[in-house]
Structures are given as C-alpha cells and as structure tokens.
Structure 1
Amino acid sequence: MDPTEVLGSLGKKYSPDILRSADEPKSAQELSNELEIPVTTSYRRVETLNELGLLEDDEDVREFGETGQSQTLYRRNVEEIVIRFEDDSLEIESKERDRTGQPLSSVWEDLSRSVSGND
C-alpha cells in the first residue's frame, strides 16, 4: 500500500463513510443510497478503495439490483488503519478484518471447497 495514495484516498469526501458502512457486503448502489451520495461518486470511491486493498470485492457473490442486473458486493478489508509521520517518511499500518466472523454458510462453502479439492 502506497501511504500517500491511501492518505489521499481517505481524505476524499465520502471515502471514510464508505469504509465505515461496508462492514457487511454491499453494492456501490446500496452504499450510494444508504449514504445519500451520488452513485457515480460511490462507484469511483469504491473502485479506488478496492484498488488500494481497503475494500474487497467478491466476484462469486453478486446481488441483483432494481434493474435486474447483477452487482458486485464490496466489504471493508481492514478494521484499523494507523498513519505514522516518522522523520521524513509516512508509514501506514493496517489491521485486516477478522474473517472468523463470517456467516456459517460461507465457512461451510470454504470447507466444502477445500475438502473436494476445488481450492
């Protein structure tokens, strides 16, 4: 993670709100509706946060929107971000989200894949 890019992204309007709200999988459209932000802005912020590794998308888990089109769901990938200003450098440390709290169905799917050898 490039510290300058992360800090720049977190400084953009709505990015921290999106990260807070994405504790459970949501589409960019859902985030837009929930946070009352323009949908195009939601998609841009989600894309940037995803590229930086702060949000993750699950291409296998999709939801159908109002128009019937499938939508990718995004979830926050981090629980904590620490920014340190040391001498002439900028350091970012992140704590990944605890994945043990995932729904039982997801745990079962993961276990089934590993047992059947479809990893």
Structure 2
Amino acid sequence: MGSDDIIEVLGNKYNAEILSAASEPKSAQELSNELNVPIATCYRRINELTDAELLKLHDRPLSDEHRRIKVYRRNVQAVHLTFENGLGVELEERSKVKNKLDEVWRTMSES
C-alpha cells in the first residue's frame, strides 16, 4: 500500500483511535465499547485497517457463550511521516520478540 493510501486510511474517523486502542488484543465489541464507536462502523474501520495491514487478526478464542470471536491487534508500533522530497510514510512493525512472546503466552494459556 502506498504512502497516500496509508495517509487516507489513517485519516478516516476512528481509525487512529482503533489502532491506538489495539496495542493489546481486543475484539470489535471491546473496541466499540471502549471508544464509543457504533459497532457497524467499528467493523468497517477494522476491515479498512486490516486491508492496509495496520491491524491484524490476532486470535479466535471462544467467548463465554462458546462462540468464536475475532480478536485484533495492531500490526505496527509506530507510523512516521516525513515531508522531505515529498510525502513519505514509514511503518515501524511490532518487534519480532514481542510477537513471539505473545505467541508463547497464547499457547500456554490454551493448555
């Protein structure tokens, strides 16, 4: 996705807030409640952010009602904008170590 596309996605209402809130895995309902965003809008924004690879599906745990729910987490740690020689966007991904630790923790908690 190009710089202009990333800027456009981040400029949409609620997207930056959803990314900020998704530093830890959360469901669409949790994000909707926390940010006071209508649930249908929250799902649309989640789809935009996942298409832009800024947010990713983290897990599909069972809910208390024994249904699978989707839990999302941001895929980037930071977004850096530069204006030298035109607009530039640099995405700083979450560290591989942090991702591995999350994976180990999730595996242990399922046991």
What is the TM-score with the length of structure 1 in the denominator? 0.76
Q: Hey, which of these two has a bigger chunk of strand by percent? A: 1
Deviations 1:81-108 (A, max 9, x none): 1122344x42211110124235857227
CA distance in 2, matches of 1:105, 1:20: 18
Give the superposition deviation at 1:35: 0.7
1:90 corresponds to which of 57, 64, 87: 87
Deviations 1:19-38 (A, max 9, x none): 00001111111100111110
Residues 1:108 and 1:67: Cα distance change in structure 2 (over 3 Å): closer
Equivalent residue number for residue 5 of structure 1: 5
Residues 1:76 and 1:109: Cα distance change in structure 2 (over 3 Å): closer
CA distance in 2, matches of 1:3, 1:103: 28
CA distance in 2, matches of 1:6, 1:105: 26
CA distance in 2, matches of 1:67, 1:32: 19
Give the share of equivalent positions with the same residue, in percent: 40
Gaps of 5+ in 1: 111-119
Equivalent residue number for residue 81 of structure 1: 79
CA distance in 2, matches of 1:96, 1:53: 10
- Report which of the two structures shows the higher radius of gyration computed on alpha carbons: 1
CA distance in 2, matches of 1:30, 1:81: 24
SS in 1 for 2:83: strand
